[in-house]
Amino acid sequence: MNRRRVTKVVRYVLLALLTILLGGITWGSFYMLDYSLTSNHNGKDETESYKYMYDNYPYLHQWVDSLNQASALKDTFIIGNENKKLHAYYIAANHPTRKTAVLIHGYTDNAIRMLMIGHLYNHEMNYNILLPDLQAHGRSEGDVIQMGWKDRLDIIKWINVAKAIYGDSINIVVHGISMGAATTMMVSGETLPANVKCFVEDCGYTSVWDEFSQELKKRFDLPAFPLLNSTSLLCKIKYGWTFKEASPLDQVKKCHLPMFFIHGNADTYVPTWMVYPLYEAKSAPKNLWIVPGAEHAKSYKQNPKMYLAKVKAFTDSYIN
């Protein structure tokens, strides 16, 4: 076989290998995007969510029953920034107050699964509360989980809904857990109504890139490059944002309102290390509580009295 023919064969082989590699990356990108962001509303419907909450927080059953008997648990809807119909529950305080909390649930959860924090604010601290279902969760429309990035704009709409329900003079804390905490931090970097006084973020991630990168390694033992790069590009093409763009870390740098950072030191889903650059990036005023032994999103469940005391002490400093 002459040299020219060998060169030609090598080129064909390399082209075939490149085609297989690109095909694999393309398939992997579509699979990862679907795996990460496609919503399944039936996965955590409200009946299942109530059962989960009552099993884990038995005191909620009596409280929710009393709310239903008094017709105090109410629904409201808006059209969000993605032109989806979005849902939230709201519950007025037992006694008239300007104190109001907007409470944001986590990844694949719904408003019902924030009722333990709703109880903390409404029952224990006499706050009005509003609990949105993020896009593609609970009773809200949508098929794609936005990881808090586009949700931040919907939360600003919900803040204005809270004003319409409870009055223009209310003072608001935004409190989120997990993806809800990331959403809270993303909201914090935007221009907000003066009613918003402070934020509580519980176990939020630094960026979608960082969170997906560590999950890719942990679940599939794969490095970020090249699959995460190609999947992020595909997300930009399909949904209009990239994994690095969706960055609570960048957003908290722009936030000048008080923020309370909470993270369990046994968290491996959103690793504990993520809270430290977030805390450092945020200008004062700010507080940090690393919860001993707490796994992901379990800081309240494992330390309810301390959680209440610390959240109350923080919010009392800024909410009249």
Angle at 212 between CA 203 and CA 132, to 5 degrees: 50
E strands present in 165-317? 171-177, 196-202, 259-264, 286-291
Going from the C-alpha of 32 to that of each of 52, 87, 233, 316, the distances in angstroms are 28, 28, 12, 43
Residue 86 neighbours by CB under 8 Å, 6+ apart:
77, 78, 79, 80, 132, 133, 134, 135, 140, 141, 154, 158
If you count DSSP H runs as helices and E runs as strands, how many of each does the chain have, helices first? 12, 8
Which residue, 63, 33, 101, 51, is CA-closest to 239?
Answer: 33
* DSSP strand pairing (259-264 vs 286-291): parallel
42-207+246-316 domain in CATH 3.40.47.10?
no
For residue 121, the 8-state DSSP code is I
Tokens of 303: 């330390």
pLDDT in tens, 151-202: 999 999 999 999 999 999 999 999 999 999 999 999 999 999 999 999 999 9
pLDDT of residue 301: 98
Give me the residues of the chain with pLDDT under 50, please.
Answer: 6, 9-10, 12-24, 42-43
- Domain regions of the chain by residue span: 42-207+246-316
d(CA 206, CA 56): 28
* Whole-Å CA distances, 88 to 82, 125, 139, 286: 16, 21, 8, 28
DSSP 23-37: HHHHHHHHHHHHHHH
Residues near 210 by beta carbon (within 8 Å), at least 6 away in sequence: 274
Per-residue confidence (pLDDT) for residue 14, from 0 to 100: 43
d(CA 192, CA 43): 33
Alpha-carbon distance values, 152 to 157, 205, 217, 254 (Å)? 9, 15, 28, 14
- Give residue 45's pLDDT: 82
Phi-psi region of 249 (alpha: psi -120 to 50; beta: other; left: phi over 0): alpha
